[in-house]
Amino acid sequence: MKLDSYIDAGTLASVEFANRLTPGYANGKPVAETDVLQAVREVVAIDPPSVAAVSEKDEDGFVALAKRLRAIFVGIDGGHIDEAAELLNTILSEHPATPYLAKEEGVWHLHHHPSDAAILPMWTAICAEGLARMIGTQNAHRLGICMAENCDRVFADTSKNATRRFCSSACQNRIKTAAFRARKRTAAVTENKP
Ligand SMILES: [Zn+2]
């Protein structure tokens, strides 16, 4: 998967945590209760050691993290970038990253943390740093909340023109269909007029 450089794994994980682990509406329906542990494992799947390290004792912490991450999207969507930045600074100061070089199969890779770092502070730092980079590179407008009715899920816009308004193509299609029906109704009313 090729990603634009300003949207990194931390930003994408932030979207996933916020959407999977906070209550609300998704694509017209209330968000169903989820298996937190399973959801976290799926979100951190890009880093296999993280998947293995997630355990039941981290559940509440990841749910709390998801809530804080969502608050940042809500703030930015509402035009409160200063507040979102302050919130991120707080999280970053609580969970500083520890850049660390690790040799894997003979090749050096730069990681945010040593491989034995605790899973929750590590992913907190990764997510916060990703979102902070969006603000710090003047890309905050790419973080938003779905415009569709009965949906409040968040998204990170990777489109070239930054014109995304929906969390998913499902929501986009739902709104398109509703608009099409509304137009058809209006047309029918107009045609029937004497
Ligand atoms: Zn949506």
Tokens of 139: 């890309």
Cα(148) to ligand 1 centroid in Å equals 5
Cα(51) to ligand 1 centroid in Å equals 27
pLDDT on residue 158? 87
Residue 77 gets the label, from left (phi > 0), alpha (psi -120 to 50) or beta, of alpha
Domain boundaries, the chain: 9-191
- Per-position DSSP letters for 16-44, written without gaps between them: HHHHHHS-SEETTEEPPP--HHHHHHHHG
Query: Of the candidates 157, 91, 159, which has an alpha carbon nearest to the alpha carbon of residue 126?
Result: 91
Cα(153) to ligand 1 centroid in Å equals 6
Q: Are strands 25-26 and 29-30 parallel, antiparallel or unpaired?
A: antiparallel
Higher pLDDT, 5 or 38: 38
Q: Are strands 143-145 and 107-111 parallel, antiparallel or unpaired?
A: unpaired
Q: What CATH number does the domain located at 9-191 have?
A: 1.10.3300.10
pLDDT on residue 176? 84
Q: Per residue in 105-146, pLDDT tens?
A: 999 988 888 878 899 999 999 999 999 999 999 999 999 999
Give yes or no for residue 3 having a pLDDT over 70. no
Cα(173) to ligand 1 centroid in Å equals 10
Cα(169) to ligand 1 centroid in Å equals 8
Give yes or no for residue 4 having a pLDDT over 50. no
Q: Per residue in 35-86, pLDDT tens?
A: 999 999 999 998 888 999 999 999 999 999 999 999 999 999 999 999 999 9
Cα(72) to ligand 1 centroid in Å equals 17
Cα(25) to ligand 1 centroid in Å equals 8
- Max Cα–Cα distance, the chain, nearest Å: 81
